[in-house]
Structure 1
Amino acid sequence: MPHVQILQGLLKVNEDGVTVLASHFNGSQIRFADEVIAASDGSLYFSVASTKFGLHDWHLDVLEAKPHGQLLKYDPVLNKTSMLLDGLGFTNGVALSKDEDYLVFCETWKFRCCKYWLKGETKGETETFIENLPGGPDNINLAPDGSFWIALLQLRSEKLEFVHTSKACKHFLAAFPKLFRLINPIYKKASVVNVATDGKIIRKLDDPNGKVMNFVTNALEFEDHLYLGSLNSNFIGKLPLKTV
């Protein structure tokens, strides 16, 4: 049975139910809203991983390897969505700095995170925060000390490198997505990094063989523990940071 995709966009969820805040942008439906962060003034910054492919077709985005991602802003006062950046490489996690003077957003297929300045002389400008990460950055969360936790997807492998050298292989895997899952290392290990405000890695935590968790997409620090979310597990991981 084929997947049924319900394209909603940016949602507000509370005790009264679900409200759609933004389902379209510039006349086009928001196909793949990914991550959102709220600023203290009520503004919502959110990523669109791909304007071409939806959630269940994410593998087609990586096979095509073209920048279809966006970074958008929703103004709740004006009920208006505006574009901050376009042409991004699978825009994923979004986090605000401690002083809310810049955003950090993840480009999964480019193995990097970038800063988008919200205040000061550099307002509206973009710069690289960290690049050449040892995995594709998924979600990013602000830590209590002002650093950032980034969950990494294991996308690099010799098998995948070969795929990107052959259009025939790409078309074949696009037609048979189960094969893409079999050769993809994303399901075999877990990795997260803690990155300082200067873009340097403070520490890296791994489950290299996926014995406890794999396909970890989120890491959130709370009261000296790191909480881990995975798309391949039916539980939330909890790791005491004082012991690592």
Structure 2
Amino acid sequence: MSAKVCLLGYKAVCLQALLLQIFVSTSPTALGFRWNDDLQKVVKFGDGFLEKPEDVCVDKKGTFYTVTRDGWVKRKHRHGPWENWKKLGGNSLLGVAMSNDGHLLICDANQGLIKVSEKGWKLLSSKVNGKKIRFADDVIQASDGPIYFSDVSTKYGLSDWTYDVLEGKPHGRLLKYNPYTGHTSIHLNHLSFPNGVALSRKQDFLVVCETWKFRCLKHWLKGKLKGNTSIFVDNLPGGPDNINLAPDGSFWIALLKLRTSGTKELVLEGVEGKAMVVKVNEDGKIIRKLDDSSGKVLAFVTSALEFEGHLYLGNLNSTFIGRLNLNKNT
């Protein structure tokens, strides 16, 4: 047996050990969650027109926006059909949010932070401290101007993100873009696969999801605790992806791979299988759960946005956004 083969075998054992350390856990049922299959009641919003819509946002007029894996920004006016709005190209468009001036902010995993308007699109940020942003993921803008967006890893990108999970080290960070100066800075460093980002109702703190630690962090932006970071919610029944503020001040969190007693599902089959979203109050307590236990309609969910009594669900394995009537169907 060659030295190269021995080395590869050693690396495989090390990677397996790392995976077991990261993922071995109790199941959602063991954590006290019962399946309800409420997500099987979704209406397929934009069915056939939206290619793997990762995220969704809505403006003050009720116009919906999403990005798809075929490189399009698509939108739907309140009383109109879905339409192709702007073609950005590529297959790396991820998180979306409305800017304070009514335009669209997008994280392109490969390029960085983008702003889109009727006139076209502009790359706002592609580097920090002179180095390229490798994996821009989700974004939110505060009312006083700063734009916060997650950079999943400084070492790996969208095409090889699984290596970041296997390595199990905190390569991620939360970046802050100043729209007045055009400067991008590192706001939080050494995060473990930071994904979704959301501001609280008072915007005195933000929440950032650490997907494969199955938790979300709370970082204070104002008040006596300004600058402090603590665990907001821990031991989630799945890896938190995107997070959105709900009208009542709580948060909707989309969960990716549900926790199991092993790890091969993630490596061999990806994150598909069973969908779940949870609603968490301002104190980090889960107050509601919705799921599709068999993946019959939604195999997994990447984002959950509440608007006018409905929950809109992004995902990366279908051609629609799920729309669930929260008052009627659950």
TM-score, L = length of structure 2: 0.65
Structure with more contact order per residue of length (Cα contacts < 8 Å, sep ≥ 6): 2
What displacement does 1:90 show? 0.4
Q: Which amino acid aligns with 1:102?
A: F
- Is the partner of 2:327 in helix, strand or coil? helix
Partner of 1:149: 252
CA shift digits 1:46-78 (9 cap, x unpaired): 101111111121212111111111011101112
Note if contact 2:127-2:133 (Cα within 8 Å) is conserved in structure 1: yes
Task: Name which of 138, 148, 151 aligns with 1:45.
Answer: 148
Task: Name which of 297, 305, 311 aligns with 1:212.
Answer: 297
Say whether residues 1:125 and 2:210 are aligned partners: no
Q: Distance in 1 between matches of 2:91 and 2:202?
A: 41
Q: Distance in 1 between matches of 2:320 and 2:214?
A: 27
Task: Name which of 267, 278, 283 aligns with 1:180.
Answer: 267
Q: Distance in 2 between matches of 1:125 and 1:141?
A: 21
Identity of counterpart residues, as a percentage? 62
Q: Which amino acid aligns with 1:26?
A: N
CA shift digits 1:123-171 (9 cap, x unpaired): 11101110000000000000000000000012533341x79xxxxxxxx
CA shift digits 1:168-205 (9 cap, x unpaired): xxxxxxxxxxx9342x4x21110000000011001111
- Is the partner of 1:109 in helix, strand or coil? helix
Note if contact 2:237-2:258 (Cα within 8 Å) is conserved in structure 1: no
Structure 2 gaps, min length 5:
1-89, 93-108
Q: CA RMSD in A?
A: 1.8
Partner of 1:202: 287
Say whether residues 1:92 and 2:195 are aligned partners: yes
Task: Name which of 196, 219, 222 aligns with 1:116.
Answer: 219
The number of residue pairs the alignment matches comes to: 224
- Is the partner of 1:94 in helix, strand or coil? strand
> Which one has the largest radius of gyration?
2
What displacement does 1:7 show? 2.7
Q: Distance in 2 between matches of 1:8 and 1:223?
A: 33
- Is the partner of 1:58 in helix, strand or coil? helix
Note if contact 2:275-2:291 (Cα within 8 Å) is conserved in structure 1: yes
Structure 1 gaps, min length 5:
164-178
Say whether residues 1:228 and 2:288 are aligned partners: no
TM-score, L = length of structure 1: 0.87
Q: Distance in 2 between matches of 1:130 and 1:144?
A: 19
Q: Distance in 1 between matches of 2:134 and 2:258?
A: 23
- Is the partner of 2:298 in helix, strand or coil? coil
CA shift digits 1:51-109 (9 cap, x unpaired): 11111212121111111110111011121111111111100000000111010110001
- Is the partner of 1:187 in helix, strand or coil? coil
CA shift digits 1:22-64 (9 cap, x unpaired): 1011121001000000111221001011111111212121111
Q: Distance in 1 between matches of 2:186 and 2:164?
A: 21
Q: Distance in 2 between matches of 1:4 and 1:224?
A: 31
The answer to which of 137-146 and 65-74 deviates more is 65-74
